[in-house]
Structure 1
C-alpha cells in the first residue's frame, strides 16, 4: 500500500518536534566544567542524605517554567538537608533551560558520586548542591575560565578601554535587574576598533552590591587568565562574564539594541581525539554528543530547508516583506490622548498647575482619571508645525526607551493646539536644585556623580544605542529632570534631529536652535553640528554640576569670564580645587577633579579632540583609566558675542535647511 504524502503543515510539525528534541539533546549535553568538593564531607549510598539528594535531582526534571531561569530547591532537614541552586543563561528559553537543568542534575551526581557539595557548568546553565546555606551568599570559588587562543592586534590601549567600558556598563545594568534577573548583554563598536560583544550575569538572589562586587572581582582576573585574548569567559558560583569579537548569544532574547553581523568561524579551531575538543580557546571542553544524533539533526535541517525553499521572488519584494515583519510598529493613534481629557487633567491649563516655561511652550502638571500623574507640554501656537510634522516628531520620541530619558506617553491635538504628554518626574529639573543655595544641599557628591553618569548614559543611548541615532542639540541643566530617587532623565526633544551617519560627519543648518552657553562655537557661528555638539553641551553641564555655578553668558563687559574660561584658567594655574562647589564638604576630591578634567576634554575647541560619549562613559566608570591632557577649550561665549544674535539666550527658530534631517 502506497504511503500518503504529508501536507506542508504536517511536515512542519513533524520537523519541529524532531529538531527540537535533537537540538535540546545537543545543547544540554555540552558540559564545560564540574567540581566535586571534598571539604564538605562524603555521604554513603544508603544514607538519608543520599535519599534526599536523589529526590532533589528527580524533582529538577519536573520544575515549572520560570522566565527568570532561577531555581532554588531544598529537600530534607537539619544536617541531611540538600540545598540546590540552578541558574540558566539570561537569554536561554525556559524550555531549553529546564532541559539543561535536568540533564546537569543527573550528570553531577554521576560525576561526583559521594560528595556532599558539587557544582557543574553547562553552556546554558549551572547547577550546584550542598548541605549548607548558599542562598543570598556571594561566592567566588570554585571558578573556571576559558580563553580564546587568538590575541588582539592594533590599538591595544583603545581595545582595553573599550572592553573595560563595555563590561563595567553591563555590570551596572545587571546589578539594577532587581530580584528577578540580573543579566545584561550588548555590543560596543567604535571606529578603528574591533566590535566587542559582552555578557554578564549574577544569581538573582544576590544584592545589587554583591552582584557588582562579584563581577568586579571577576574582571580583575582578566589580566591573569585572558590578557589580550579576543575572547574570554569566567564562571564563579554566583556570577559570570564572557566577551568575544563575534555575537555568541541570541541578540533578540538578550534585548541587544542593534542587530550585529553574524559571527565569523573561529580562526584556529582544532579538534582533538577522544571526548574533548579544542575550540580556539586552548582549553579542553568536555562534550557529550553522540555522532549519529548530530548527523540526523543536520540531515533533518538540510532536508527541511530544501523542502520549504520557495520559488525565487523579486528581490525588492522580499526586502519589502522583511522590513514589514521586523520593523517595530508604533502608530500615532495608539499614542493619541483626547484633548478634553488633558484639559480636564490640568484644570484647563490652570496657572497653578504650571511647572515651567521655555521657548517652545509651557509645561503643566496633570492627573488623569485613573490617578496617574503626567506632565503636559503645551507647545507655542506659532511653532509653524503642521499636524503631520508634529505626529512624525511624536513617533520619533516615542521610540526612545531608556531609564535616563523622560518617557513620552502620548500627544493630543485640537485645531492649532499641540500637546505632548510625558511621565511626571517628581523633582523637576536639575537647575532648580543645582543653582539654589538651599536645595543644592540635597545634591551631595554621590548624587551629583550619579547624575553625571546618568546623563552620559542617556546621551550614549541617543548617539549609538538607539535604532534612531539622535543629536539632542539642547542639553542643559533645565532639560535634565530628577525623579524621586534623584536619577537623571534627559528631557525636551523639541529640537532633536536624526543623524544616520558616522560619528565624524558634520552637518550644517542655516538656523540655529538651542541655548547660548551650551552651544560650541562651530555650531553657534557656522551652523555646523554633529554628535560632538552634544558632547560640548555635556562638558559645560559637568562643569556646572561640579562647581554649582551657572555658565552665564552676557554681552556686557569684555572681561566677563564664563564658566568654561574659569575652569581652563584654574586648570592652567593648578588651582582646580577652587572650582569645586563649596557646599560639597564631603566626597572624593579625586572624583571631582576627574570630572572637571572630563568636562574640559568635552569642551575642547577642536571637534575631533572631543571624546565620544562612549569614551566618556568609560572614563566615568573606570578610575584606573588615564585621562588625556585637555587642550584649550572653545571660548564660545566670547566668540559668539561678536555676532548679531537675537537678544534671547534661547534661540528657538526651527532649522529648515535641506541638508539637515
Structure 2
C-alpha cells in the first residue's frame, strides 16, 4: 500500500495552489483598463426614462454575453431608447465572462452618470452603451493605455517590429473571417529565448472588411506607441489588439470556436513571405520560356513540312504501279 509522507503532502498541496493560481490569473477577477465617457453624446437627466432604460439594458447584458461571448440589445422608444453591447475576450470561461460584464456594467454606470454614450474596457471584457444604434458606428477611434508608455524597450527594435507586425497581420486575417467568435491568438519566436504572444478581436456586429480595416488601424497605432516596447495594447469601440512577451491568454478556454486557439507562427515564415513569391515568379517565368520555345520549334517544324510539300508539288515524281498493286516513286 502506498503511503503519503508529509513531504509528499506538502508537494501535492503546492502543486494544487500553483495550478489554481495560474487558472485565476487567466479567468479570475478582472482588471479595469480604461473608461471613456463621450462628451459629444446627448446627456440624460437623473431618474429620467433614459436612465431607467439604461439600467434595464445594463442588467440584460451579462447573462446572454456569458453564453455567446457577445451581446447586443436595446430597450425603450424614441429619445429614451438605449442600445447596449458587451464583448468578452474569446479565451475566457462563461463564468469569468459574466463576472466581468456585471462588474463593468456597474462601473460604467457610476463613472459616466448623465452621459448618453460611454464605453469601458476590462482585461477580459468591454461594455458599451449609447443613445444611438451602434451597428452603424464603425468609425475607428483607438485608445492607448497609460501603462504602455511604462513598458521597457527591446534591444533590437527593427527585428522585433518585423516579427510582431508579421504576427499581428496574420492574426488579423484569421480573426476577420472566423465565423465563430472573431478572435485569434498566436505566438512567434523572434529569438532563441523570447516569444511574442498576441491576440486580436473585434465585435460581431461589423462585417469582415470593416473588421480588417479596424484591426489595421489599431495595429498602426500599436506600432506608433509600442513597436519598440515589450508589450502594448490598443482599444477601440469595435476591435482590440495586444501583444506581450508572456502568455496572457488562455489557450484552453476559448468560448465557442475550436479554430481560434492559439497558433504558433514559425520564424521562418517571415522569410518565406518574401522568398515564396520570388520563387513562384521564377517558376512562372521559366515555364513561359519553355512553352514559347516549344511553340516556336513546333511552328518551325510545320513550316518545314509545308515547304517540303510545296517542293514536291512543284517537282512531281513519276509513279509506277505493279501488277500486285504496289506503288513505286521514280527516281
2:153 to 129, 147, 151: 151
Match of 1:115 in 2: 115
Q: Give the superposition deviation at 1:61.
A: 4.0
Partner of 2:262 in structure 1? 256
Greater C-alpha Rg = 2
Q: Which residue of 2 aligns with 1:169?
A: 170
- The answer to whether the 8 A contact 1:35-1:142 is kept is no
Shift of residue 64, structure 1, vs aligned partner = 6.3
Q: Deviations over 1:226-283 (max 9, x none)?
A: 241111001011111001111111133451245xxxxxxxxxxxxxxxxxxxxxxxxx
Conservation of the 8 A alpha-carbon contact between 1:171 and 1:200: yes
Aligned equivalent of 1:30: 31
Find the residue that maps to 1:164 and give its secondary structure: helix
Matches within 5 A, 1:287-298: none
* Number of aligned positions between the proteins: 266
Tell me the distance in 2 between the aligned counterparts of 1:224 and 1:538.
29
- Aligned residue for 2:41, secondary structure, equals strand
Match of 1:50 in 2: 51
Q: Cα offset for 1:223?
A: 4.3
Aligned to 1:205: 205
| SS in structure 2 at match of 1:113 | coil
Normalised by the length of structure 2, the TM-score is 0.70
Question: What is the match of residue 239 of structure 1?
Answer: 239
Tell me the CA shift for residue 141 of structure 1: 2.6
Q: Distance in 2 between matches of 1:56 and 1:177?
A: 28
Cα-Cα RMSD: 3.6
Bigger fraction of residues in helix: 2
Q: Which runs of 5+ in 2 are unaligned?
A: 1-15, 255-259, 295-331
The aligned counterpart of 2:303 is: none
- The 1:536–1:200 alpha-carbon spacing in structure 2 relative to 1, beyond 3 Å, is closer
Number of the residue aligned with 1:569: none
In structure 2, relative to structure 1, the CA distance for the partners of 1:234 and 1:74 (3 Å cut) is: same
Residue pair 2:61, 2:84 contacting (<8 A) in 1 also: no
Question: 2:251 is paired with a residue of what secondary structure?
Answer: coil
Show structure 1 runs of 5+ residues with no match.
1-14, 259-460, 466-502, 504-531, 557-661
Q: What secondary structure sits across from 2:163 in the alignment?
A: helix
Contact 2:171/2:185 (8 A) holds in 1 = yes
Matched, 1:540 2:279: yes
Aligned: 1:160 with 2:166? no
After superposition, what is the alpha-carbon deviation per residue over 1:546-574, rounded to whole angstroms, capped at 9, x for unaligned?
x5944749xx9xxxxxxxxxxxxxxxxxx
Shift of 1:23: 5.1
**Structure 2 equivalent of residue 82 of structure 1:** 82
Q: Give the deviation of 1:50 after TM superposition.
A: 0.9
Contact 2:61 2:85 in 1 (8 A): no
Measure how far apart 1:149 and its partner are: 2.0
- Measure the CA separation in 2 of the matches of 1:82 and 1:51: 10
Deviations 1:496-551 (A, max 9, x none): xxxxxxx7xxxxxxxxxxxxxxxxxxxxxxxxxxxx99x98874333345x59447
User: Which residue matches 1:219?
Assistant: 219
Q: Are 1:540 and 1:551, in contact at CA under 8 Å, matched by a contact in 2?
A: no
The answer on whether the counterparts of 1:143 and 1:237 sit within 8 Å (CA) in structure 2 is: no
Contact 1:544 1:551 (C-alpha < 8 Å) held by counterparts:
no
Match for residue 194 of structure 2?
Answer: 194
- How far 1:47 sits from its partner (Å)? 0.9
Q: Corresponding residue for 1:8?
A: none
The one of the two structures with greater contact order (alpha-carbon pairs below 8 A, sep at least 6) is: 2
- Structure 1 residues 136, 549: CA separation in 2 closer, same or farther (over 3 Å shift)? farther
C-alpha distance in structure 2 between counterparts of 1:223 and 1:537, whole Å: 26
Shift of 1:65: 4.0
Any idea what SS the aligned residue of 1:74 has?
strand
Shift of 1:187: 0.6
Q: Deviations over 1:112-136 (max 9, x none)?
A: 1211111110000000100011115
Deviation at 1:59, TM superposition (A): 1.9
User: Structure 2 CA distance, aligned partners of 1:71 and 1:157?
Assistant: 40
Once residues 27 and 37 of structure 1 are traced to their aligned partners in structure 2, the CA distance between those partners, rounded to angstroms, is 29
Per the alignment, residue 380 of structure 1 pairs with none
Cα distance in 1 between the residues matched to 2:35 and 2:44: 19
The separation in 2 between residues aligned to 1:97 and 1:35, in whole angstroms, is: 21
Q: Report the Cα distance in structure 2 between the residues aligned to 1:71 and 1:241, rounded to whole angstroms.
A: 20
C-alpha separation in 1, matches of 2:169 and 2:50: 41
Mapped partners of 1:126, 1:217: distance in 2: 19
Corresponding residue for residue 308 of structure 2: none
2:222, 2:233 within 8 Å by CA — same for their partners in 1? no
| Structure 2 Cα separation of the partners of residues 536 and 228 of structure 1 | 26
Give the TM-score normalised by structure 1: 0.37
In structure 1, the residue matched to 2:183 is 183
